[in-house]
Structure 1
């Protein structure tokens, strides 16, 4: 690990040191900034030319950071770097990220277990040195870096309403040490005051006042530390990093009061909540989800970007997707629509976006340094520069129990032009295999008969709708019938419903008592949360009802479950809990 260099004011000046400073001044005159170390005449370190020439204007610098990626659940893991299942960071990781087209990385850090909880709130030197090593690896690859205070937000900063002075003192002490350790880093390093700040038992007005105090104090501590921190880009969040208008207005006021042209606003965006976790019937990326995204980015633009305050979207994604340890709760094609739309909306709004990657095989496999889902990454990457066409769904269900008829999807060209349907390298024939009228794509009975073949349950063929630019939209042709459920018994700790899926795919589950009221742990909606209340086990031929869902049911009261499938089929089922035992019946 590299040693942490002391601030210049603590070093003994010498003729050699002066020569090194003159060399650094020459590099500044040439428009370069330092990111590594070169030897001055006396062997001391002096800034070397960076691989990145940082624009003077904050707006231009943040634009140059697009796209960005999060090193999630690593240095922010509690208590240590590998505690949440990710391997230790290597320089190869940043080599990969840079090669994949990323221009910046956000490095979340949780300092709590590496900082004393009492004055003088000292940060462990070994941990600080490790953080610096990781930051320097990223910068050596020409990446901008955003370094922050992360889960400290809910571990101790949230107690600020009741313990104001101690929290503020610890916060200031932490940033004093971080600013000192990194004061000689180039301007490619940005500081973010705190991630998703929260305050216990506080009103919105109190939250904004406390965050203003933290952001203002952070600004004063960093700027007063001198060196590269004098004009370093500083990133300030809204309350909870929420893009709601009231919190963004408050942050805008804070930024205006600081009179500093090197400030950046940050918020996070994880989509419309029902869609992001598949609850309350949010199974599709529908008009509600699209409206939520459009309005969020419009607010970011109008509140900040239009006033020449850059916006760094420090985290984006879906709250519960992907999760390679469980069935997909967000349908794949609908998730791709979200990522495609977000990339476009960010470009229109002038917002730099940072994908939240928690590791453990979610996006980039930290062990193999390969994308866990290359096709998904292709959609994310494409969204950085262009639009791709989609359709109303990525599946066409053909019932096995009835004659084959034509099926229609709605094309969403997104500014592109539809160029045809393909199966592998073979184009389908317009007029015979499909027709297009006013963006209504209809697969003929003739084509579906050929594509379904022997009509085995499941995916029989995969098509591509190709457009004039962007990525093709994949359409699975599936033979299915209405699923069949069977009676079952079990306990609140283990209960499954025998299920013949017959090619269909589970979308959501309603749960109601006989009087029509909602049943289950999500009492505000009858549509329970996918994987939290229920989960399909396709290989095992069951639907799992979770202990959390079953324990939330009234004892001795029958509950009617309605399972909704992506084909449009619905199946009704009944469960009754009685003193820990559970009975399920089809009637």
Structure 2
């Protein structure tokens, strides 16, 4: 399975395949995954909306069973291993923590579902593994015990279904597929089952960096690395002789700064392998592979991951890792400010034993000593060369990409960006009477995305998460991407949840949109008045 990839937001969509952001999967998608170097595919499937009868039979629509079987064949015919699961059912009908939960009914339905999946896929060979359920909710030892029971019900069902199932590999789960809860409450299955088994857990940590929360836009300090390693080492330490698989992990190119993201990819991958743990990349169809164009949205991250899997050392761009810093630097970019002189720019790299082999722009090889020079870990691009890419008055935006090839590992890119502070189409409005997203027109002037958003009430208090006062300066009062702020091609967006928070606070609130690079003054304010 290593490295593995998730076909996310597809057969697991609620309610049907195609209802979310991806069309029904086609076989060529798996060709793309093969070319990219992946060996295994996790196949999330939501079954909740495909039952044609109720208790006691819980019959699954045979058309849906056939569709899942057909996709499994698409995968295995290309030489992949695959893990088939029960996905969003975990919160649709199998939530054992719900106040209305009927545990007996959940157990009955769970058995009947897996018996039918097992029967349909009974003749699939050792390339196909099963996972009982995705991220089952829970927070107590009692919940953990019930999940252990469900793991046993799952094993009984597939064994009763016959075929290859009594020999089939399975990845059993703990509460939430969370590493800590799994370590606390997971119990090994009954030895009467002969199925080879592993434990699957998921890893999206640290939360603030992975989910662009509270202004956390850096990663890679010694403390960051130590925390990640401690997490993965702890699970291995608790399950010393059991195969482990991280069935979901990711660091999205949508919102995360490139250099920090690339360092995370590299260190996470190497650390997982150090502790004999298989990583399976989560891909919801928006973050990694563009299935329509067959292109990877961040090919550098992909190359870093696949090289790290092979044990090849990658060169990585230096970037700010000190959380207390008030200005952040990144060697994944050359930022040039509009209406300023073009000067030489030096970028630092973690070479990790590699050397720079060549540099290109638009396929044209740059001349060492003329266009750039190398001194130790630093690469300096001359003012004369950079002046061929932009002038003080070049229109803001991404103007060029420098491709760097090293003696080993992933090739890197450096985006050359002319920037000014973006301009909002309005700077104030009255709080609406109803709950809705607030779309604010913007004219981008550099990278077409914010770095983060700060929200401060008229009395000086923080609109959300007052505890962020104890965080470093560039994280205080910041709110969280996706759930609280977003953007599109022509707007920055305050989500309805944030507008509602202003209403609940009853205070006029100023939102400070911060842009890349994160430096003093590269912001735009918007006031929502009550």
User: TM-score by structure 1 length?
Assistant: 0.74
Pair 415,567 (structure 1): closer, same or farther in 2 beyond 3 Å:
same
Unmatched 5+ residue regions in structure 1?
1-64, 323-327, 580-587
Counterpart mapping for 1:165-564 below 5 A: 165-199=104-138, 203-244=139-180, 246-251=181-186, 253-255=187-189, 262-287=196-221, 289-304=224-239, 306-307=240-241, 309-318=242-251, 321-322=252-253, 328-359=254-285, 362-367=287-292, 369=294, 371=296, 374=299, 377-385=302-310, 386-391=312-317, 392=319, 393=330, 394-404=332-342, 406-419=344-357, 421-423=359-361, 424-429=363-368, 433-437=372-376, 439-443=377-381, 448=386, 452-453=390-391, 455-456=393-394, 457-483=396-422, 488-491=427-430, 492=432, 494-496=438-440, 501=445, 506-520=450-464, 525=468, 526-536=477-487, 540=490, 543-554=492-503, 557-564=507-514
1:190-243, Cα deviation, whole Å (9 max, x unpaired): 1111111114xxx42122111111112222333344431222111101211112
SS of the aligned residue for 2:231 comes to helix
Give the number of the structure with larger relative contact order, counting CA–CA contacts within 8 Å between residues 6 or more apart: 2
Q: Is the 8 A contact 2:358 2:365 kept in 1?
A: no
Pair 256,330 (structure 1): closer, same or farther in 2 beyond 3 Å:
farther
Unmatched 5+ residue regions in structure 2?
320-329, 469-476
Determine which of 83, 88, 108 is the counterpart of 2:24.
88
Alignment-derived partner of residue 145 in structure 1 = 82
Residues in 2 aligned to 1:118 and 1:495: alpha-carbon distance in whole angstroms: 46
1:2-54, Cα deviation, whole Å (9 max, x unpaired): xxxxxxxxxxxxxxxxxxxxxxxxxxxxxxxxxxxxxxxxxxxxxxxxxxxxx
Q: Does residue 1:159 correspond to 2:89, yes or no?
A: no
Pair 464,73 (structure 1): closer, same or farther in 2 beyond 3 Å:
closer
Pair 503,311 (structure 1): closer, same or farther in 2 beyond 3 Å:
closer
Q: In the TM superposition, what is the alpha-carbon distance from 1:357 to its structure 2 partner?
A: 2.5
Q: In the TM superposition, what is the alpha-carbon distance from 1:260 to its structure 2 partner?
A: 5.2
Q: State the aligned residue count.
A: 496
Pair 490,561 (structure 1): closer, same or farther in 2 beyond 3 Å:
closer
Q: Is the 8 A contact 2:85 2:133 kept in 1?
A: yes
Mean Cα deviation higher: 221-230 or 480-489:
480-489
Residues in 2 aligned to 1:70 and 1:504: alpha-carbon distance in whole angstroms: 28
Residues in 2 aligned to 1:523 and 1:442: alpha-carbon distance in whole angstroms: 42
Mean Cα deviation higher: 452-461 or 350-359:
452-461
Greater radius of gyration (CA): 1
Residues in 1 aligned to 2:371 and 2:63: alpha-carbon distance in whole angstroms: 69
1:365-399, Cα deviation, whole Å (9 max, x unpaired): 44555545655544444443233211122112233
Alignment-derived partner of residue 47 in structure 1 = none
1:118-169, Cα deviation, whole Å (9 max, x unpaired): 2122222332233223223322332222111111111111136741111111
Residues in 2 aligned to 1:502 and 1:174: alpha-carbon distance in whole angstroms: 51
Alignment-derived partner of residue 125 in structure 1 = 62
